[in-house]
Amino acid sequence: MSFTRQLSEMSASELNDAIDDTNFPQAHIISRGRNNSVCSTSSTSGTSSLADRVVAQPEETQPPSSTGSEEPAPINPNRPRLILKSSTSIPENDGTQSSLTPQTPRTSTTPGHENCTFHHDLELDHKPPTREALLPDMARSYRLLLGGLGENPDRQGLIKTPERAAKAMLYFTKGYDQNLEDVLNGAVFDEDHDEMVVVKDIEMFSMCEHHLVPFYGKVSIGYLPCNKILGLSKLARIVEIFSRRLQVQERLTKQIAVAVTQAVQPAGVAVVVEGVHMCMVMRGVQKINSKTVTSTMLGVFRDDPKTREEFLNLVNSK
Ligand SMILES: Nc1nc2c(ncn2[C@@H]2O[C@H](COP(=O)(O)OP(=O)(O)OP(=O)(O)O)[C@@H](O)[C@H]2O)c(=O)[nH]1
Ligand SMILES: [Zn+2]
């Protein structure tokens, strides 16, 4: 598999193949002290996984910054950044054409969507002409749905429901309208900080792609910076980009971790998502107290048990 393409061009299964075994780090624990491992992102698994896509690169072998500006001297010259082989750093927003513009054609063949560029669920950067243009078609579909339920779509209480429902669905999936570069808005700062940054309990609302019902919960993100830190709110905004789409929780978890890696090329990223799936609560198996926990550990969080433990302790502390 070639790993020279942009993240936005990778299919869901390709991304999963690349970082699948970064989930559930218990299976990959190795004994190494933090002082040693903090400068290492070497993978403990086979070459078809994380090591192929996410590699530690010494400063001198990093791709040049897209702005051409000088990188500051590293805090620890031995600490390589966690870099996605398939991507470059997020360029500063200079108002010109995004280097993240998708190269692949859309995959949707839905009539009326010929000009839409946003039908790849992994795209970070699609800019649909206007999703509002989808409203009339969506409203018509909801009207049919109401009729299918045996309801009278023309009764007073339902007359505006198809349009309301269409607008609500557009809101629930507004992440398709967002891209990482715009969301970051240049809030990546050079900073001599090499201790863990954790933002926890970020509320998350998403839509189960299997049943089109919500799942919700909280996301905790940690990263170990390498000279660059991210505006704190941007971590929560990254959660919004990917949660406001049709999702499965596992993919959501990975996409958040990969996006943080793209944004600041840290030494490692950790993401834990705890979700309640309404498809398991209101229907189906009807387990109202069940929670699903997923995690993605990249770089030093994956390789070093102590770093991972420090993160998990911070996340689990009240
Ligand atoms: N792995 C994963 N599965 C999910 C997620 N959201 C929903 N599902 C599952 O998707 C599966 C779909 O299974 P199906 O048997 O095709 O559908 P179903 O008959 O509605 O399944 P039940 O929910 O068991 O009634 C179910 O097991 C859901 O629990 C998610 O985020 N991740
Ligand atoms: Zn579901």
Structure token digits, residue 127? 């800019």
Q: What angle (nearest 5°) sits at the alpha carbon of residue 260, between those of residues 255 and 262?
A: 95
Task: Tell me how far apart the alpha carbons of residues 107 and 118 are, in angstroms, rounded to a whole number.
Answer: 9
Ligand 1 atom nearest residue 284's Cα: 25
Task: Tell me how far apart the alpha carbons of residues 70 and 51 are, in angstroms, rounded to a whole number.
Answer: 28
Task: Tell me how far apart the alpha carbons of residues 229 and 238 are, in angstroms, rounded to a whole number.
Answer: 14
DSSP-assigned letter for residue 61: G
Annotated catalytic residue 249: yes
Whether CATH 1.10.286.10 fits 133-176: yes
- The neighbour count for residue 47, using CB atoms within 10 Å, is 8
Nearest bound ligand to the CA of residue 253: 1
The reported pLDDT for the residue numbered 129 is 64
Domain definitions of the chain by residue range: 7-102+183-316, 133-176
The reported pLDDT for the residue numbered 109 is 55
User: Ligand 1 — pocket residues by CB below 6 A?
Assistant: 208, 210, 248-250, 277, 279-280, 284-285
The reported pLDDT for the residue numbered 62 is 38
By alpha-carbon position, which residue is closest to atom 27 of ligand 1? 280
CA of 285 to the centre of ligand 1 (A): 10
For the segment 172-186, the average pLDDT, to the nearest whole number, is: 95
Helix (H) or strand (E) holding 162: helix 161-172
Annotated catalytic residue 208: yes
Ligand 1 atom nearest residue 252's Cα: 31
Nearest bound ligand to the CA of residue 214: 2
Span 34-74, pLDDT tens digits: 333 333 233 222 223 333 334 444 433 333 333 334 444 44
Identify which of 207, 279, 285 to mutate to test ligand 1's pocket (most ligand atoms within 8 A of the CB).
279
The reported pLDDT for the residue numbered 288 is 96
Task: Tell me how far apart the alpha carbons of residues 46 and 174 are, in angstroms, rounded to a whole number.
Answer: 37
When computed from its CA atoms, the radius of gyration of the chain, rounded to whole angstroms, is 21
Identify which of 23, 206, 210 to mutate to test ligand 1's pocket (most ligand atoms within 8 A of the CB).
210
Task: Tell me how far apart the alpha carbons of residues 170 and 164 are, in angstroms, rounded to a whole number.
Answer: 10
By alpha-carbon position, which residue is closest to atom 20 of ligand 1? 284
Whether CATH 3.90.1300.10 fits 7-102+183-316: no
Query: Residue 207: what are its φ and ψ, rounded to 5°?
Result: -125, 125
Can you tell me which residue has the tokens 């019902």?
213
Asked if residue 297 has pLDDT above 90, the reply is yes
Q: Which residues pair with 55 in a beta bridge?
A: 83
Nearest bound ligand to the CA of residue 213: 2
Span 72-99, pLDDT tens digits: 444 454 556 776 655 445 544 443 333 3
